[in-house]
Homo-oligomer: A and B are copies of this chain.
């Protein structure tokens, strides 16, 4: 079951540099683990913004919430969720 998710990141300007680096490394590892597991199926950068547009493939709403809530950057993000369905004109199923 697919969901589009837009994440807009807003890090505090005075975040400690080392903490920030570790945080971003943790976020990257977390994201890549979910990508490899087939949960986080698309991840694109929005041009000119500290934001991404993503697509998740999950079993249900609860799983999606757990994945997002546990994002290392969650408390620094605005997250917008859009449930998706099969489009009748889509060639691929």
Copies of this chain present in the complex amount to 10
The answer to whether B84 touches A46 (Cβ under 8 A) is yes
A residues with CB within 8 A of B: 1-5, 11-13, 27-28, 31-32, 35-36, 42-49, 52-53, 55, 60-62, 64-65, 68-69, 75-76, 79-92
Q: Which residues of the other chain, B, contact A13 by a CB distance below 8 angstroms? A: 12, 75-76
The answer to whether residues A44 and B90 also contact, given A53-B84, A85-B65 and a CB cut-off of 8 A, is yes
Q: Report how far A5 CA is from B64 CA in the complex, Å.
A: 18
Question: Looking across the interface, which residue of chain B has its beta carbon closest to that of A5?
Answer: B48
Q: Which residues of the other chain, B, contact A86 by a CB distance below 8 angstroms? A: 44-45, 62
The answer to whether residues A61 and B83 also contact, given A12-B13, A13-B75, A47-B68 and a CB cut-off of 8 A, is yes
